[in-house]
Structure 1
Amino acid sequence: MMLTAIGLMSGTSLDGVDVALVETDGKRIQAFGPTGYRSYLEPERRLLRQALAEATHLAQREARPGVLAEAERVITLAHADAIKGFTAQHRLAPEDIDIVGFHGQTVLHRPERRLTVQIGDAAALAKAIHIPVMADFRAADVAAGGQGAPFVPVYHRALVQSLQREGPIVVVNIGGVANVTYIDGNDTLIACDTGPGNALLDDFIYRTTGQPFDCEGRLAAQGRVNVVWVARALAHPFFLKPPPKSLDRNDFAHFTLGEMSPADGAATLTALTAAAIAKIVPLLPKPPKNWIICGGGARNLAMMRMLREKLQPASVEAADALGWSADAVEAQAFGFLAVRGLKGLPLSYPATTGVPMPMTGGVIARP
């Protein structure tokens, strides 16, 4: 049976809340609905940065010491605001929506300690919007020994199946962290994080220019890549590990650029993201024929140019060129995953997160 779901995503780049409506039975996508976005205000973003810094000391998933309790309240209110604005704009009543997939905000991801923490109060959100909410998608996977990330591959497969193209195809999501899904027919689904996405770049741009990100990669396009620095960064053991593997947003925070101009720093960090994605190719069963780029990185023209150089002769396309919504793919995915969770279907697999067996997940909060 087809259900109508709204998915919500607040990524590691801390820009805002993506909202997307999908009609799905959890296996295929019948229709894409409208998408929306609610930007974080600067005080909210500051609070989230503080929460990320404080979360490094967390030892328990449920603990909310210090600023984390306030950050959870603010995250929940921002998501409620995003849903209310979206449903009002598209004249949707609560009874029109079967389920909301609420990812929350990841503040710590340490699968080696069987710990992943997404803040956001699903029960409070369900009461505020009068719609059932599914949250805590990653917890069961990590508790069972999986990486808990990436979690969107099963949705990427549903998207790619609708293209009817010859594989292998890789879908890349470049958010704060970059991740890939390798799809070859119905049987082969491999996924992992590849390294920094926009997180290092955004943090550097914010620190040196006060801007939240490098719009369209304009600053990177003016700079020179420090190839020695990129090569040194790529010597990190993470880049040689085979999939599945995952990262925390701050795992590469120690990669400092020293005395580099904003343009050279932007070019160098953009090159690192592209090179780290290309590093996954020798670790895959076959060289991919097509690469489809989603997330904020798809809007970065310098990033797209570098990816085309690194991944040739394969084709590299932005998701928007295929009629997908590059910015809303992850939000759509969590609507899709919420329906899968309702039906008890697997959300993660041994080759996507390293979990011992296909795992369902998610916890439902009702209004």
Structure 2
Amino acid sequence: MDTSYHVIGLMSGTSLDGLDIAHCRFTYKSHNWIYEILNTTTLTYTNELIDSLRDAETASGLELVELDHAFGRFMGQQVHEFVQQHGIRPDFVASHGHTIFHQPGKHISLQLGHGAYLAAHAQLPVVSDFRTLDIALGGQGAPLVPIGDALLFGKYDYCINLGGIANVSYSHNGKRLAFDTSACNMLLNTLANSVGKPYDNNGELARSGMLAPQLLEALNRPAYFLDPAPKSLGKEWILEHSLKSIEESAASVADKLHTVCHHIAQQLRQALPQLHEGQHHVLLTGGGAFNGYLVEQIQQQLGSKYNVEVPAPEVVSFKEALIFAFLGVLRWRGEHNCLSSVTGASRDNIGGAIYLF
């Protein structure tokens, strides 16, 4: 008998480009999961909310709690409006929240957007806080998406997400492996913002620039890039290393964008092992997949044995929201949704707090 779930997935990424909402249906049929993306939207944040989220790491404890509740309330209100607009009744909401701290070396990862406030204002059950159990079990609490890559996008050899942070997942010797490869849109959007643009449309500014060798060397220098997995990046590391190198460079904005694209592509090349003798199929999603120049550099760096595919815009934009909805389904069913082979935890685990409504 087929089993189906209607779920709303929520994703707020480190690039602060808005709240992704995806209404999805998941059907378990003949021992396989089938997904459908039914309705979607991205809500652009106000400047005030962007400032609050960007500055949250320096907020007082009281201010942080207030923002956690306020952001949960905001997401709940947006979900309630989305549900009313589309005339739907999902089984529950699954929310990643918005990451403020991610310091796995200190066993810390904090995502704002309290699930209880989200549930109260969405008037729906909520699954949230997917990372904490894994961290308590000694893991990085990240990346979380790989089990969704394996079960929903298993036809690809590699799944690459070009979000605020770029990461890759793939199966090797019977295990799913995944890790963050470099900062991505956090760098590209910051540079575009500096010249009054929300982002570098199709990588046009990057394409117009030239390589800045000293900046490229500085971006590639940190030891993180040679560290073995499991490993993951947080905003704090990116501010201290990648963004600091960019700020210290005298290159033009166009040259910086050009060079950052080369940095991202080079780190992906370094991260992807050759899994077999045949053609390798690579799925590219996340906002960076709309950057034509970056995609060209990735294909060029990987070479002819790798077919880089950018799927339909809906999958590019909403894959993370889709997969967090799916992680919620696995949590709802009491099945593992976080892999120790990816995070380094002592065992696979079932992450997520449930708030019933």
Fold match, TM over 0.5?
A: yes
2:142 is equivalent to residue 142 of structure 1? no
Separation in 1, partners of 2:70, 2:197: 22
- Percent identical pairs in the alignment equals 31
2:341 is equivalent to residue 351 of structure 1? yes
The answer (yes or no) to whether the contact 1:2–1:24 under 8 Å persists in 2 is: yes
The answer (yes or no) to whether the contact 2:35–2:152 under 8 Å persists in 1 is: no
Q: How does 1:85-164 map to 2 (within 5 A)?
A: 85-92=81-88, 96-161=89-154, 163=155
Shift of 1:113: 1.2
In structure 1, stretches of 5+ residues that fail to align are: 56-63
The answer (yes or no) to whether the contact 1:115–1:143 under 8 Å persists in 2 is: no
Shift of 1:129: 1.1
Which consecutive segments of 4 or more residues in structure 1 shift more than 3 A? 284-288
Shift of 1:71: 2.9
Cα shift readout 1:105-151 (whole Å, capped 9, x = no counterpart): 10000111111101111111111111000111000001111111110
Separation in 1, partners of 2:65, 2:167: 29
Q: Please state whether the residue corresponding to 2:324 is helix, strand or coil.
A: helix
- Report the more deviating stretch, 19-28 or 143-152: 19-28
Shift of 1:285: 5.3
2:214 is equivalent to residue 228 of structure 1? yes
Name the structure 2 match of 1:304: 295
Cα shift readout 1:215-264 (whole Å, capped 9, x = no counterpart): 22121111112133213321211111222211102312233232121111
The partner residue of 2:53 within 48, 56, 62 is 48
Shift of 1:359: 0.9
Separation in 2, partners of 1:6, 1:147: 26
Shift of 1:73: 3.7
- 2:106 corresponds to which letter in structure 1? R
Separation in 2, partners of 1:133, 1:125: 7
Q: Please state whether the residue corresponding to 1:279 is helix, strand or coil.
A: helix
- 1:47 corresponds to which letter in structure 2? S
Residue 244 to residue 69, structure 1, CA distance change in 2 (3 Å): same
- 1:17 corresponds to which letter in structure 2? L
Q: Please state whether the residue corresponding to 1:225 is helix, strand or coil.
A: coil
The answer (yes or no) to whether the contact 1:50–1:67 under 8 Å persists in 2 is: no
Name the structure 2 match of 1:181: 169
Cα shift readout 1:265-286 (whole Å, capped 9, x = no counterpart): 111122222212112024x755
Name the structure 1 match of 2:188: 201
In structure 2, stretches of 5+ residues that fail to align are: none
Separation in 2, partners of 1:264, 1:66: 42
Separation in 2, partners of 1:205, 1:67: 30
Name the structure 1 match of 2:307: 315
The partner residue of 1:335 within 322, 325, 335 is 325
CA RMSD of aligned residues (A): 2.1
Separation in 2, partners of 1:215, 1:82: 27
Equivalences, count: 345
Q: Please state whether the residue corresponding to 1:327 is helix, strand or coil.
A: helix
Shift of 1:184: 5.7
Separation in 2, partners of 1:244, 1:2: 33
The answer (yes or no) to whether the contact 1:8–1:102 under 8 Å persists in 2 is: yes
- Report the more deviating stretch, 245-254 or 126-135: 245-254
The answer (yes or no) to whether the contact 1:176–1:196 under 8 Å persists in 2 is: yes
Separation in 2, partners of 1:232, 1:10: 29
2:271 is equivalent to residue 280 of structure 1? yes
Separation in 2, partners of 1:351, 1:310: 27
Separation in 1, partners of 2:76, 2:329: 20
The answer (yes or no) to whether the contact 1:25–1:339 under 8 Å persists in 2 is: no
- 1:275 corresponds to which letter in structure 2? Q
- Report the more deviating stretch, 240-249 or 65-74: 65-74
TM-score by length of 2: 0.90
Separation in 1, partners of 2:317, 2:74: 18
The partner residue of 2:8 within 2, 6, 9 is 6
The answer (yes or no) to whether the contact 2:80–2:123 under 8 Å persists in 1 is: no
Separation in 1, partners of 2:341, 2:77: 36
The answer (yes or no) to whether the contact 2:126–2:354 under 8 Å persists in 1 is: yes
TM-score by length of 1: 0.88
Separation in 1, partners of 2:73, 2:266: 38
Q: Please state whether the residue corresponding to 1:303 is helix, strand or coil.
A: helix
2:74 is equivalent to residue 78 of structure 1? yes
Name the structure 1 match of 2:231: 245
Q: Please state whether the residue corresponding to 1:216 is helix, strand or coil.
A: helix
Separation in 1, partners of 2:101, 2:276: 33
Separation in 1, partners of 2:11, 2:127: 13
The answer (yes or no) to whether the contact 2:72–2:116 under 8 Å persists in 1 is: no
Residue 225 to residue 250, structure 1, CA distance change in 2 (3 Å): farther
Separation in 1, partners of 2:323, 2:230: 19
Separation in 1, partners of 2:285, 2:231: 19
